[in-house]
Structure 1
Amino acid sequence: MYDPTRLAALVAVAEAGSITRAAERLGYTPPALSQQLAKLEREAGAALLVRHPRGTRLTGAGELLLVRARRVLDELERARHELARLTGLRGGTLRLGTFPTAGIHLLPPALSAFHRAYPDVELAVADYDPPTGVHAVAAGDIDLALTHTYEPAEPVPLPSSVSLEPVLTEELVLVTSPGHVLSAEASRLPPAELAGQPLISMAPHHPARRGVEAALAAAGATPAVLVETPGYAVVCALVSAGLGVAVVPEMVARTTATPLGVRPLEPGTLRRTISVAHRTDEPAPAADAFRALLRGVFGRAARHG
């Protein structure tokens, strides 16, 4: 691998036309610069320079390496500037992925706090249905992704370069049409009382919800309407219209636009954990700052029990 310092020496000699003038430009003595160039020639395995009375010219091999050297040095300089801006959070772009519930109810206060603290960092937000946001982080398409997991559920392996930091855990609650007998009380409802109830089944074939749907089926709930895509707004609208009951995250139940009855379940073992996915194999000051703000805004990590 070529040393960037020696590549810079080759570029300087090509532009200055002599080792003496290039040395003055770089702050070397001519003998020291000659040593750098000799080492570069050994790395290249070819003569790169021809000395003559009026200065120095490049050989064919030198001209070929010069083109590549300029590209390498340009990229390194660009990276240096970008990292300097990002390290100081004075520029760059923070790319975020989110799913609808988090994008509407969790992301805005955190983004607002981040923008006040770091107004020079541009923000880009894109929708990613979990767990696709995790894979987008692993691929480098985005810097962070808000994602979720459900309990009960089979564990899903993470890409080796990605880690999940829990933001909050919420229970899943029963939602009914307004005035429904099951939501008339505030006490926790035993799942067994769902037996025979028409259930708006939420994405029964979606990996994240599969364990929850199995638990509801084991309690005796009877699927009445299957919602094949993970859209809680549709589920709540169907429940509000009296087509059945459903089990949704508490955040969804409390913020839905349609009128609903809400009741907690016992023993509270159906949960959704919202986490932020981030890379662990490279420094990311803006992403780290945003994760810190998430912890500060919500002040509670995922918890069990």
Structure 2
Amino acid sequence: MYDPTRLAALVAVAEAGSITRAAERLGYTPPALSQQVAKLERETGATLLVRSHRGTRLTGAGELLVVRARRVLDEMELARHELARLTGLSGGTLRLGTFQTAGIHLLPPVLSAFRRAHPDVALAVADHEPPHGIAAVAAGEVDLALTHTYQPAPPVPLPSSVGVEPVLVEELVLVTAPGHLLAGGSTRLPLSELAGQPLISMAPDHPPRQGVEAALAEAGATPAVLVETPGYALVCALVSAGLGVAVVPEMVAATAATPVGTRLLEPGDLRRTISVAHRTDVTAPAADAFRALLRGAFGRAGRHRTGGRPDVRGHRDDAPQGS
């Protein structure tokens, strides 16, 4: 049986008239598309394309296979639509709530995967700063909401109709101006070493951060600048300018737009958990499919985040633009 991806590559080359134009259409590089066609030629045992400086043309074997390939691909597309209708994933709208950083850097690759799998489902994304996304799910304003909690913090009560599923857990780390004394060394910095340090206080009245702020105050960090709204880009910029130090999620530190030094803290129990909130009392195929993609993208739920930008099947990415 021939690989449908390679059949689609051959059809694209036949329609575009060149490897380069077909690669642009499919989102491949020309060498990658050439490899797909070469593998198909090995599978068939026949030469399918003839390349020249004027472009690419099909051989007789290629023309025969393209006719059959179009039929196969059409049947597969028809089957996809029929299965989507059967499972409730044809038509309708998936409504998502998100906070800013997740919306910019975590949500897009998963949404792209969802759109490829279920192109007939419309998408709507709304901004819901945690913990307000949970209330939006309970009220039926959105189907799912990305939200977060910080540790230490008291547990957030959930409406009876809402459940939350952890997506990833990350430590909070110290960020400093480049070259700062506290940023040096490879060992964890005891929290007590922050005593007397000027602190850029991240949203001290923001409920999710209050437990973290209390822990920093107990360690003796001295508030120097109060950032009253959740905005990690501003926090990192102020730190970079030497106005103080701050404690932020590890992903934020790794993707800061301004240069900062970073250091892990001891004990490593200051954390942020990003979760997806969903209804537990209704059947929602589109929402369930999206949650499954989130699980696939981030691996085992609750796994500690260590930074980086993996592919669409495993995005672990965030940014300092928001909370």
TM-score, normalised to structure 1, is 0.71
Greater displacement, 279-288 / 109-118:
109-118
Q: Name 1:283's counterpart in structure 2.
A: 283
**CA distance in 1 between partners of 2:181 and 2:138 (Å):** 47
Q: For the structure 1 residues 86 and 183, does the alpha-carbon distance in structure 2 shift closer, same or farther, using more than 3 Å as the test?
A: farther
Contact 1:86–1:92 (CA<8 Å) still a contact in 2? no
Q: Where has structure 1 moved over 3 Å in runs of 4 or more?
A: 84-88
Structure 1 residue 105, shift from structure 2 partner: 1.9
Q: Name 1:26's counterpart in structure 2.
A: none
Q: Does 1:273 align with 2:273?
A: yes
Q: Name 2:294's counterpart in structure 1.
A: 294
Amino acid at match of 1:289: A
SS at 1:187 equivalent:
coil
Structure 1 residue 103, shift from structure 2 partner: 1.0
Amino acid at match of 1:162: V
**CA distance in 1 between partners of 2:266 and 2:104 (Å):** 28
**CA distance in 1 between partners of 2:196 and 2:214 (Å):** 15
Structure 1 residue 300, shift from structure 2 partner: 2.6
Q: CA offsets per residue over residues 225-249 of structure 1, 9 Å max, x none?
A: 0111111111111111110000000
Q: Name 2:192's counterpart in structure 1.
A: 192
Contact 1:98–1:133 (CA<8 Å) still a contact in 2? yes
Aligned residues: 221
Amino acid at match of 1:181: L
**CA distance in 1 between partners of 2:236 and 2:86 (Å):** 42
Q: Name 1:139's counterpart in structure 2.
A: 139
Q: Name 1:211's counterpart in structure 2.
A: 211
> Sequence identity of aligned pairs in percent?
81
**CA distance in 1 between partners of 2:283 and 2:176 (Å):** 47
**CA distance in 1 between partners of 2:159 and 2:133 (Å):** 12
Structure 1 residue 287, shift from structure 2 partner: 0.2
Structure 1 residue 186, shift from structure 2 partner: 2.4
**CA distance in 2 between partners of 1:175 and 1:164 (Å):** 30
Q: Does 1:89 align with 2:89?
A: yes
**CA distance in 2 between partners of 1:303 and 1:168 (Å):** 5
Q: Name 1:262's counterpart in structure 2.
A: 262
Q: CA offsets per residue over residues 34-80 of structure 1, 9 Å max, x none?
A: xxxxxxxxxxxxxxxxxxxxxxxxxxxxxxxxxxxxxxxxxxxxxxx
Q: CA offsets per residue over residues 110-135 of structure 1, 9 Å max, x none?
A: 11111111111111111110001110
Amino acid at match of 1:285: P
Q: Name 1:172's counterpart in structure 2.
A: 172
Q: Name 2:220's counterpart in structure 1.
A: 220
**CA distance in 1 between partners of 2:281 and 2:154 (Å):** 26
Higher-Rg member (1/2): 1
Structure 1 residue 87, shift from structure 2 partner: 3.3
**CA distance in 2 between partners of 1:85 and 1:202 (Å):** 47
Q: For the structure 1 residues 213 and 86, does the alpha-carbon distance in structure 2 shift closer, same or farther, using more than 3 Å as the test?
A: farther
Matches within 5 A, 1:88-127: 88-127=88-127
Amino acid at match of 1:252: V
Over the aligned positions, Cα root-mean-square deviation in angstroms equals 1.3
What are structure 1's unaligned runs of at least 5 residues? 1-83
Structure 1 residue 85, shift from structure 2 partner: 4.6
Contact 1:168–1:303 (CA<8 Å) still a contact in 2? yes
Structure 1 residue 297, shift from structure 2 partner: 0.6
